[in-house]
Structure 1
Amino acid sequence: MDHDKFERADFETAIQHAGYGRYQARLLCVCGIIYATCAMSTTTLSFVLPSAECDFNLTSSDKGKLNATPLIGMVTGSYLWGSLADSRGRRAAILCALLLDAAAAIASSLATTFPIFLACRFFNGFGVIGATSLVFPYFGDFLSIKHRDVMLCRLEVFWTMGTILLPGLAWGVIPSPWWWFGKESAPVAPWRAFVGLCAAPPLLAAAALAFLPEAPRFLLTAGRKESALDVIKGMHTANKTHNTFMVTSLSRSNSEPGSPSVHLSTTGNDTVEINNDSSIVNKSTIISRLCLKLSSVVELSKTLFSPPYLKFIILTCFVDFGLMFSYYTLMMWFPDLFERFGHFSLMHPGKSAGVCEVTSIVTMEGENAVDKCNSPVNSEVFLHTLIVGVSCLPTSITVGLTINKLGKKFLLVFMLMTSGCAAVGLNWVHSSNQNLILSCIFEGIISCTEAVLFCVIVEIFPPHLGATAMSLTVTCGRIGAIVGNVIFGALIDMNCVIPIYTFGALLITSGLFCLALPKNERRRG
């Protein structure tokens, strides 16, 4: 390689020369902690529902609305977080999102009425979606193409760890007697203590992220070449690569789809260039800043909804809608379904019944047969949920090891269609153990599916569109989850066959849609 040419390298060349080792491992740990935190924050309500039901006099319809409220916050915040990250940086956006999530958890634990609790959970969703949707672009911007798929899929192991840790925490806190948390004159409900403790993980994750730099690929895209080079030099030093780092300047790769149409200077200069023309915007006024942000969002959106990216954003949005309509709804309702099976066993010892039959019987006669408000939550609820979480570990590990060999397209089609069949099978189980086994199969297969979809998004869309495309896709997924939870909450006591078959149909259809993905998803430099 020519020496002069090597001194001025594109991003991919520079990131490869920085080496692969300790720095990426440190990033994986921090981003993994963030993703595990997102898993815990996202599924907190699944354990609150059986416990808070009596405090707030919740019906099944109310539970569906409660599950949907954080999702509304996610939909509201997702695109805004993405636009903020694409214009101001991934790291800063993730930090703000984590801090908001922690504040919402503390406020939720203190809420005294159901409307206030709903409002707090709205802001919980608003915050957690920022970290969930941006951790993949942030981590991916440090990685070379060679290692990107494997490392991004390894994040899913941390999501699984979050889903395992949460029922363990809930099991240790929620069944505890009231007096353990406060004086007898002012006791604290265990479920409130549990929600309050859920503020600790996002605070720890934010503290860990504070020691990491902004993503170098974003810095290069934003025109901050020197800052990007400094980060890559730091990677080279941390990896203790034996070769000398010879890159002295960075250039955009010709194979990388273009410079962003909106170039935002965030280095402290007094000018910002838009569409590469000579117009100068004075950043000293609030109006100028608002106009700048609005212009950047409009320009990014125009590019995203134009060929060749239009067909891909439609596909990823539809797939995530169907995926989250089914996955998130059942994930949030599994503890409640396990609780219903427990009450059914008390009322009808030795009798077998399916999911829908159990929910109907418990609704018709179970409320009077068992005093749920004066009895602790059945420990099997936590045990079964813990087992479901553990069942995701083999898949999350296997996907990370096989994604390069099998390909993202194959994995998406296989996982969506298989989990769709498992969802339909929930109508045919006849006991609590059968329900647990099929729930493990469903959760184990589908838990990694969105991570694979995120890997596709990271590579289909260029850096200046990546976070916005990710956030828009996640927004559509959360809309699907909202619809799924509202429908399931409304129909579970009357005719739960309809939503369960809908889950299966949407997952299978989403799998068929993934056949339209190109065989080689890579479109980035």
Structure 2
Amino acid sequence: MRFPFRARRRQESVHDYIGVLVPLEEAHLHSHSARSGRSEFEEVRTSSDDDEPESGLPKDGDSEQTGMLQMSAAEYTIEGLRREVRRGDRRHQWTEYELKSKLINKAIQDIGMGRYNWQLFVLCGFGWFADNLWMQGVSLTLPSLSGEFGISEKQVRYTTSSLFLGLCIGSFFWGIGADIMGRRIAFNVTLLITSIFGIWAAYAPSWGWVCILFACMGTGVGGNLPVDGALFLEFLPDSSSALLTLLSVWWPVGQLVSSIFAWYFITRWPVEQGWRYFVMTIGLITFAMFLIRFAIFRLFESPKYLLSQGRQSEAVAVVHGIAYRNGKMTWLTEEILDAVADMEGAERTPGRVSTTNIIKENLTSFSFGRIRPLFQSRKLGTATLLIWFCWSTIGLGYPLFNAFLPQYLSHGGSGAPVTDESMMAYDAASSETYRNYAIISVVGVPGSLLAAYTVDHKSPFLGRKGTLAISTLVSAIFLFFFVKFGTTPNSQLFFTCVEAFCQNIMYGVLYAFSPEIFPAPVRGAGTGVASFLNRVLGLIAPIIAANIPGDGTTAPIYMSAILILAAFVGMVLIPIETRGRQRL
């Protein structure tokens, strides 16, 4: 069968790939299992559920054997799927959306990981890459901005505040906007905004303009993580859920690339030129990533988003599009979705198929009503508040140390205005400082790899919560060690490397764990608010660091350690563990 879309078209509508939909009566013949390759019908025959009757296949001497044998394979498959989607809490009143969402999860699981999913892993990784590319990039320019514009080391920290202001706006707008406009628009536009204002910042005539342009750039990069994480999660088979954590491996890679280019440009050009060449370079890298996303890769809209908007036929067609891209076929059809969800006791959820209703819904969506479903139960509400608390404390604690690390490693944070003598001393040490920064970035990469392994480990001390809590606790401890025992460049490098390793585990699991907790209709809002709180507190961090009494080197790091320790306590109290749990 020839797939009916053409590569020259930018967007794929339902009609582009609806032609490969499988008839209901043939569903069992085309079903695939990612684990064994068996048909859905064969899987139902061998499945068991302690809380449900056996598979229902006729046994020898069964009085209903004749009637069961007369059932079509497709009808029997639906009975098996009904049992499948009802697994879990039997007291829960499943809604129509939840049942259909679980069925889409199963269809994606049966298709398995393939070319489309791995391409999406790379392209969503661009969002992680860009986030730390610019977060660390701005930090690495601070000594140069002090030198060119004559700003004290404490005052120049407000540059980071301007970035975090943009990150706050971007994370909130794009997080909620992804639930309103869809994931695809935000996925493409965020990198474009980042690259435009990032490149423009290289031509800034004054420090004030640098701050303004970095803030505008932040509105783009701030939407990357909440949007890309939610998007990747909704295309990911359940058996490959650890890949969401592994996606964080792009984060230290972004820091590494930023460190290498800063080491090359800032240490080899005059102070007023090096940082501009550096910012221009990472801006062009970001624009290249946007072009790859927009012009080369053709993204499907999230089937969970489409289902939540009442666009069921498009959601089904997307699943078939994924199957086609992966060289597979799928049993999913609209008829199967409706038949499985048509159960006694299922709570009907009215669809929003009408264009007028969708527009009206979107116009009123930027309100607190968007986050109200996050508190629909006591357990979910408690988990939501604790997740937001962890994001907030980490948002304030992390930049108090990391955003000014180049200053800690180079000058020691004297806070005095930059003079010719101090710049000469800085020039002598800057090459070693940026070299050490690159080493720290490399050490962070294995942290993400270890996190991807431990989040699905069966140990009661690991999983999502255990890995997150342990890495956060160790991170807090080594922040105290950095202040207490980091008296030499080598000891500072060692403690910072351990810190980078643990923090990459922490952030990698946190960015994967958070969207797994939130239901798909409000997943963008839940992660968006979390990211927004993270950025708001990050906005305050430079203000504290710039105005704290003393030399501004030890007190901010002590505060960072205390805040990270508070986040550890919040993580231990989260009442949900998503390891092995289906995502709605």
Superposed pair shares fold, TM > 0.5:
yes
**2:527 is matched with which residue?**
470
Q: Is the 8 A contact 1:109 1:192 kept in 2?
A: yes
What is the deviation of 1:330? 1.8
Relative to the length of structure 2, the TM-score reads 0.75
CA RMSD of aligned residues (A): 2.8
Match of 1:20 among 99, 107, 113: 113
Instruction: Rate the CA distance shift 1:330–1:251 in 2: closer, same or farther, 3 A.
Output: farther
For residues 185-217 of structure 1, the C-alpha deviation after alignment (integer angstroms, 9 at most, x for no partner) is xx9712112112221232222223222222222
> Which residue of the other structure, out of 207, 211, 215, is the alignment partner of 1:114?
207
The Cα shift of 1:237 comes to 2.4
Asked if 1:446 corresponds to 2:503, the answer is yes
Instruction: Tell me which of 180, 189, 193 is aligned to 1:100.
Output: 193
Post-superposition offset of 1:375: 4.4
Distance apart, 1:492 and its partner CA: 7.4
Corresponding residue for residue 474 of structure 2: 418
Residues 87, 4 of structure 1: CA spacing in aligned structure 2 closer, same or farther, 3 A cutoff? farther
Change (3 A) 1:126 1:365: closer
Whole-angstrom distance in 1 between the partners of 2:235 and 2:245: 15
Instruction: Determine the C-alpha separation between the residues in 2 that align with 1:50 and 1:475.
Output: 28
Query: What pairs with 1:142-221 in structure 2 (closer than 5 Å)?
Result: 142-148=235-241, 150-177=242-269, 189-210=273-294, 211-221=298-308
SS in 1 for 2:332: coil
> In the superposition, relative to structure 1, how do residues 167 and 261 fare at CA in structure 2: closer, same or farther (>3 Å)?
farther
CA–CA separation in structure 1 for the residues paired with 2:292 and 2:446? 27
What SS does the corresponding residue of 2:125 show, helix, strand or coil?
Answer: helix
Matches within 5 A, 1:157-306: 157-177=249-269, 189-210=273-294, 211-241=298-328, 244-249=329-334, 251=337, 270-272=355-357, 292-295=362-365, 297-306=367-376
- Residue 380 of structure 1: aligned partner: 432
Matches within 5 A, 1:318-329: 318-329=389-400
Asked if the contact 2:389/2:567 (under 8 Å) is kept, the reply is yes
Name the stretch that deviates more: 153-162 or 447-456: 447-456
Code of the residue aligned with 1:464 in structure 2: it is P
Shift of 1:145: 2.4
Paired residues, number: 474
- The question of 1:491 aligning with 2:548 is answered yes
Aligned residue type for 1:475? F
Give the C-alpha shift of residue 246 in structure 1.
2.1
Higher mean C-alpha deviation, range 245-254 or range 515-524? 245-254
The code of the aligned residue for 1:315 comes to L
The question of whether the paired residues in 2 share the 8 Å contact of 1:167 and 1:385 is answered with: yes
Equivalent residue, structure 2, for 1:184: none
In 1, are the aligned partners of 2:167 and 2:220 still within 8 Å (CA)?
yes
Q: Tell me if the contact between 1:460 and 1:523 (Cα under 8 Å) persists in the aligned partners.
A: no
SS of the aligned residue for 1:53 comes to helix
Residue 510 of structure 1 aligns to a residue in which SS?
helix
- Take 1:264 and 1:104, find their aligned partners in 2: how far apart are those partners? 37
Q: Which amino acid aligns with 1:121?
A: F
Query: Could you tell me how far apart the structure 2 residues matched to 1:495 and 1:200 are?
Result: 34
C-alpha distance in structure 2 between counterparts of 1:11 and 1:22, whole Å: 19
2:560 to 503, 507, 513: 503
- Structure 1 contact 324–477 (Cα < 8 Å) conserved: yes
- Could you say which structure has the larger radius of gyration? 2
For 1:16, the aligned partner's letter is Q
Cα distance, 1:517 vs structure 2: 1.7
Q: What is the CA–CA distance in structure 2 between the aligned matches of 1:368 and 1:171, rounded to whole Å?
A: 21
Name the counterpart of 1:481.
Answer: 538
Quote how far apart the aligned CAs of 1:174 are: 1.9
Distance 2:281 2:428 in 1: 20
Percent identical residues: 21
Aligned to 1:307: 377
2:113 is paired with a residue whose SS is coil
Q: 1:224 to 1:369 in 2, by over 3 A?
A: same
Q: What does 1:54-65 correspond to in 2, within 5 Å?
A: 54-65=147-158
Query: Under a length normalisation based on structure 1, what TM-score does the superposition of the two structures give?
Result: 0.83
* 1:5 Cα offset (Å): 6.3
What CA deviation, in whole Å up to 9, does each residue of 1:357-388 have, x standing for no partner? Answer: x44xx457995753449947721121010011
Q: Supply the AA of the counterpart residue of 2:152.
A: T
* Partner SS for 1:20: coil
User: Is 1:435–2:505 an aligned residue pair?
Assistant: no
CA change 1:456–1:500 in 2 (3 A) is same
Deviation digits for residues 52-98 of structure 1, max 9, x if unmatched?
21222222332221111111111123221112100111120121211
Distance in 2, Cα, partners of 1:162 & 1:311: 33
Q: Distance in 1 between matches of 2:525 and 2:347?
A: 16
Q: Is the 8 A contact 2:199 2:284 kept in 1?
A: no
* Distance of 2:355 and 2:246 partners within structure 1: 41
Measure how far apart 1:408 and its partner are: 0.7
Pair 1:226–1:417, CA change in 2 (3 A):
same
Worse overlay, 77-86 or 434-443: 77-86
Compared CA separation, residues 439 and 295, structure 1 to 2 (3 A)? closer
Q: Which amino acid aligns with 1:65?
A: Y
**Residues 233-284 of structure 1: CA deviation (Å, up to 9, x unaligned):** 122223234xx42222263887xxx99989665xxx64225xxxxxxxxx5x
Asked whether the equivalents of residues 310 and 351 of structure 2 are also in contact (C-alpha less than 8 Å), the reply is: yes
3-state SS, counterpart of residue 433 of structure 1: helix
Change (3 A) 1:322 1:6: same
Over residues 109-148 of structure 1, what are the superposed CA-to-partner deviations in whole Å (9 max), with x where a residue is unaligned? 1111122111111111111011122110010010122222
Q: CA 1:122–1:364 in structure 2 vs 1: closer, same or farther (change >3 Å)?
A: closer
Once the two structures are superposed, what CA deviation does each residue of 1:442-477 show, in whole Å capped at 9, x if it has no partner?
A: 111012312212222222110011111001011111
Distance of aligned partners of 1:62 and 1:370 in 2 relative to their CA distance in 1, 3 Å threshold: closer
Post-superposition Cα deviations, 1:135-174, rounded to whole Å, max 9, x if no partner, equal 10010010122222x1101111111111111111112222
State how far apart, in whole Å, the 2-side matches of 1:517 and 1:175 are: 45
Deviation at 1:33, TM superposition (A): 2.3
